[in-house]
Amino acid sequence: MDLLANAAWHALTGPQAPIAQGGDLAVRFDPDVSVFAALPDRPSPEAWDALAELVGPGNPTALIRVDLDPPPDWTELFAGVGVQMAWPGGPLDGSPPDGFEAIRLTADDVPEMVALVARTEPGPFADRTIELGTYLGVRDPVDGALVAMAGQRLRPPGHVEISAVCTDVAFRGRGLARWLVELLIEDISGRGDVAILHAAATNTGAVRLYRAMGFVTVRELRFAALRAPGRPVVTDQPVIG
């Protein structure tokens, strides 16, 4: 299987192995970093059992890969079709929209980043997702509020995924998202890697933008939020006071 058909697995067992949880049959990010888990290219029943143990009874996780056929005791909470795209190389504009400046975001910016993601819904973003790579943002030159951002997430060998691309509705149409993506492409290409990204197939505006920039479609894949079999373990906490 092409490694990009199962990018999360090849990231978490490759360049991002130092921050992965799990073993040979199932891996995941710390849930405070990202919701994604992964299974081998050809997952066995034992791999699904290992993922269930890793996630914990009744707990949710997310997978993104070409083929996705969970056992019947897993509950599908959400599923959809995604488009995987890659940057083939070529010239980039890179010029900033008038009046705006790109900044590198830090842990101090996380509350605003989480709030922007909640308003714009580009995909899952956790309190520690920023630890996965460079995140760039744009602030409103008037009041300083964070109005656009994009960053880096999965790192399968030779590739870096651009993720969390979003712009506040009041600032759309000014080229902020395109500019941030171009800056990230420059950063990724400068390290000798290929920029990739994923978008929901239903997000036609984003797919249209990426194609206009020069991204090429690699494949369609599936993404899903799944609940592991069993009931969550509830631990009684002593009352203090």
DSSP code string of 90-136: -----PPPTT--EEE--GGGHHHHHHHHHHH--S---TTGGGGS-EE
Amino acid at 94: G
CATH number, span 3-81+223-227: 3.40.630.30
Look at the block and give the residue holding tokens 């395109």.
178
Describe the strand order of the beta sheet including 135-139 as a list of residue ranges. Answer: 60-65, 216-227, 75-86, 194-200, 159-167, 146-152, 135-139, 102-104
Do the domains at 3-81+223-227 and 85-219 have one common CATH topology?
A: yes
Task: Please name the residue that has the structure tokens 């599908």.
Answer: 76
**Rounded to the nearest 5 degrees, what angle is found at the Cα of 222, between the Cα atoms of 216 and 228?**
150
Question: Sorting pLDDT into bands at 50, 70 and 90, what band is 238?
Answer: very low
pLDDT at 95: 84
pLDDT, position 239: 44
* CATH class name, domain 85-219: alpha beta
* Residue 50 to residue 27: CA distance in whole angstroms: 9
Cα radius of gyration (the chain): 19
| Residue type, position 223, single letter | F
Q: Considering the chain, what is the average pLDDT of its residues?
A: 94
For 230, left (φ over 0), alpha (ψ -120 to 50), or beta? left
- Average pLDDT value for residue range 6-34: 97
User: What is the predicted pLDDT for the residue at 93?
Assistant: 83
pTM for the full predicted model: 0.92
Confidence class for position 235, pLDDT limits 50, 70, 90: low
- Please state the domain extents for the chain: 3-81+223-227, 85-219
For 142-165, write each residue's pLDDT tens digit: 999 999 999 999 999 999 999 999
